[in-house]
Amino acid sequence: MRRRVVPIVLVLLIVLIDLSVVPVFFHNTWTVSLTLATILTLAVCLGRVSGMLYGTIGGLLIDILVGYPVGFRLVLFVIAAFLAGLLGYQSDEERIRAGRKMYGRRFGAYLSVLILTELVVYAYQYFTTAQFAWRFLGNALIRAGISTALCMLLGPAYMRLILGKPRKNIVAGVKREVKSF
């Protein structure tokens, strides 16, 4: 239940915060999408299929509530969640064996997916406005860096919230022979 209900409620709350609270307090070119950071973190924690589901929910809600062309953020979030889950997901056993190496893998997954996402948004902006300026590209890279830092900070909190306490290394003891009757 924890793996199914909590992420949906989390995505709904983050979409509401992203659309109603963040624009009031922060309005500049470096404002990051809290919803995208949450979806990427969930994709890395739970896998690519779950990430695609939460990307669909978050992207569709943003498309409907903000007035983007229906499907733009939806497709963008679904593809980004799939790629983040593909590059950064590790099973529980791999996570225990990897130790601190998993943070490098997650950092690379977040950064590459967020740069790709910013480039897609920049291409869409270019084709709709026909304006090109290098500062737009610089701002996109700064947003990708800030979003990566946000994903790295939110990752452990979301994993604790969704997956619970981390399991300790369980060493197998002496195996007893089971006799069948």
Instruction: Map residue 21 onto helix, strand or coil.
Output: helix
Q: Are 26 and 136 in contact (CB under 8 A)?
A: no
pLDDT band with cut points at 50, 70 and 90 for residue 177: low
pLDDT of residue 172: 47
CATH number at residue 27: 1.10.1760.20
The reply to whether 179 falls in a domain is no
Q: Mind listing the pLDDT tens digit for each residue in 142-162?
A: 999 999 999 999 988 998 888
pLDDT > 80? residue 1: no
Higher pLDDT, 175 or 115: 115
Residues 6+ apart with CB under 8 A from 45: 89, 155, 158, 159, 162, 163
* Residue 65 lies in domain: 2-92+101-163
Residues 6+ apart with CB under 8 A from 46: 3, 7, 85, 89, 162
- Amino acid at site 60: L
pLDDT > 80? residue 167: no
pLDDT band with cut points at 50, 70 and 90 for residue 54: very high
Q: CA–CA separation, 164 vs 158, rounded Å?
A: 9
Q: Mind listing the pLDDT tens digit for each residue in 26-50?
A: 888 888 999 999 999 999 999 999 9
Q: CA–CA separation, 103 vs 90, rounded Å?
A: 11
pLDDT of residue 166: 67
pLDDT of residue 79: 96
pLDDT > 70? residue 77: yes
Domain count, the chain: 1
The mean pLDDT of the chain is 86
Classify the C-alpha dihedral 59-52-48-14 as positive or negative. Answer: positive
Q: Mind listing the pLDDT tens digit for each residue in 11-25?
A: 999 999 999 998 888
pTM of the model: 0.84
105-128 b/e (C-beta count within 10 Å ≥ 16 → b): bbbebbbbbbbebbeebbeeeeee
Q: Mind listing the pLDDT tens digit for each residue in 84-107?
A: 999 988 877 777 777 777 888 899
